[in-house]
Amino acid sequence: MPLLIKDLALHHWVDRTRTPPSETWSVRIPVVLTPVNTYPLPSAPQQDWTIDTGATGDAFAWRHHLEQAGLDPDVERVGTTFVRQYDGRRVAAPVCRANFWIVSNQANLRPLRLPLSRGIVYIDSRVRSPDPQLHRALIGMRLLIRAGLRVEIDCENRMVSIWTPNPSLGTTNP
């Protein structure tokens, strides 16, 4: 299996709103979103998306993540689905079609497109100043499983590595 991401440091932050302050760690990886049937340009904006082993869907974001990637959620909207919030409530959320790419930290490897089933489910909120710790973009387990990725979290060294079953990684365009 080709190594896509090697020894990427885990994301770390301290929640100072708690008493005592609480350290938080998460697995964030570089992602690029593009319109369907397009390949990311070298200048495409990268975003850090969090792997969420508790998220059962493909991908979840907030409107600002899609807009920052250069997508128009109103134009690329392909319907609505229901998501279950942390408190158990089911809420309707729109779906935006897009291509979803993981950006390798290995020299000379092109981004790897992961196959979204319908698109990215998102919260259609125009938050003025989003909190990057609260308004995170999430990668769900369904997408990682569909792509056949191997994800290794090295908690002792606080790093993540990801392998792909795609033997042609970096050799061909989509």
Do residues 70 and 81 make contact, with C-beta atoms less than 8 angstroms apart? no
List the domains of the chain with CATH numbers: 27-149 (2.40.70.10)
pLDDT of residue 8: 97
At CB < 8 A and 24+ separation, what contacts does 34-37 make?
34/69, 34/70, 34/98, 34/99, 34/101, 35/71, 35/76, 35/97, 35/98, 35/99, 36/76, 36/97, 36/98, 36/99, 37/99
pLDDT at 141: 95
Q: Which residues of the chain have pLDDT under 50?
A: 171-174
For the full predicted model, state whether its pTM sits above 0.85.
yes
**Residue 174 has what pLDDT?**
44
pLDDT reported for residue 28: 96
Comparing CA positions, the residue from 57, 47, 23 lying closest to residue 135 is 47
**What is the model's pLDDT at position 55?**
87
Q: What is the pLDDT of residue 169?
A: 62
Peptide bond into 42 cis (omega under 30): no
pLDDT at position 42, please?
Answer: 87
Residues in Cβ contact with 107 at an 8 Å cutoff, skipping those fewer than 6 apart = none
